[in-house]
Structure 1
Amino acid sequence: MTTTTALTEHFTLEEFTRSDKARSLSIDNAPAPAIVANLRRLAKFNELVRLELGGAAMVISSGYRCLALNRAVGGAGNSAHLDGLACDFTAPAFGTPMAICQALDKSYLQFDQLIYERVGGAVWVHLGIAVEGKAPRRQVLTIDNRGTRIGLWS
């Protein structure tokens, strides 16, 4: 399986595994087969997200992170990125990350975690799905320079 393997109609494995940080630090971010299965589930879920966003293309900025990469970028030790169950993205044709979060919060979609993240000058949406067989929490958070808070805060 190559990194350009199509997971769904609009998403490839490469989108969920590429990392400039991994490349610059010579970190192998190739996922194991179990992680690829999770990434395929995440890509299928993202197809539903795309529909909810009126078909707007999603720009994935972070997907799967192996442990070394997660540590290098300062990710949480329990990050769903480690298991291929989360991605960070924007959808410029739809609107701002806050508009995306508001739309997904009001949607029928059963995500595990939806986070409006604003760190420094960067802003993005973190979207996680539940482990297969586990009920999604549908947790909505904001993470910014004031910490982590429940709900969406601009």
Structure 2
Amino acid sequence: MEDNKMLSEHFSLEEMTRSGVAIRMRIDNNPDEEQVENMRQLCRNVLEPVRRRFGVTRITSGFRSQALNAAVGGAPDSQHLRGEAADLHISNMEVGRKVFDFIRLHTDFDQLLFERRIKGGYWWLHVSFTTRRPNRHQAMLDWR
């Protein structure tokens, strides 16, 4: 895999596949060409508009291989497995709300979840984009 390969103007294949869990557990997290193309579409259609509007956008979880998805407790049918989803770091609630609203109002997304783990006190945005079918534009809060 070409780690420095750019999927879009600001997002690289390396950042969309990077995983501390994969490194620690020595899990292969290399996507195939279809998964790379899915990541490219996600970056171009959703992540680039976010980057242009808000500046640096940090991906905390992008593509996940089957083994990595199982290791992090991901859903068995997670769009991360197809390269169709990314989780974005959110610095605080106000910024999260602004990014959430921007994606919801200005991009063609499939699923948008403003997720928060009350126990840990952290939050992130999960966003997906697909070309397999029309995007659902499903947006919701998921605070546990």
| TM-score > 0.5, shorter chain as reference | yes
Report the number of matched residues.
140
> 2:142 is paired with a residue of what secondary structure?
strand
Residues 1-154 of structure 1 correspond to what in structure 2 (within 5 A)?
1-45=1-45, 46-51=47-52, 54-90=53-89, 92=91, 96-105=95-104, 107-119=105-117, 120-130=120-130, 132-145=131-144
Structure 2, gaps ≥5 residues long: none
Deviation of residue 96 (structure 1)? Answer: 2.2
Q: 1:90-127 CA distances to partner (integer Å, 9 max, x unpaired)?
A: 365xx52222112322x231100010010222211111
Is contact 2:50–2:102 with CA below 8 Å preserved after alignment?
A: no
Structure 1, gaps ≥5 residues long: 146-154
Identity %: 38
Structure having the higher helix fraction is 2
Is contact 2:17–2:62 with CA below 8 Å preserved after alignment?
A: yes
**Partners of 1:99 and 1:123 in 2: how far apart?**
14
Is contact 1:87–1:127 with CA below 8 Å preserved after alignment?
A: yes
> 1:141 is paired with a residue of what secondary structure?
strand
Counterpart AA for 1:113? Q
- Structure number with greater CO (CA < 8 Å, separation at least 6) is 2
Please, what TM-score do these two structures have when normalized by structure 1? 0.84
Counterpart AA for 2:78? S
> 1:7 is paired with a residue of what secondary structure?
coil
**Partners of 1:143 and 1:24 in 2: how far apart?**
28
Is contact 2:59–2:89 with CA below 8 Å preserved after alignment?
A: yes
Please, what TM-score do these two structures have when normalized by structure 2? 0.89
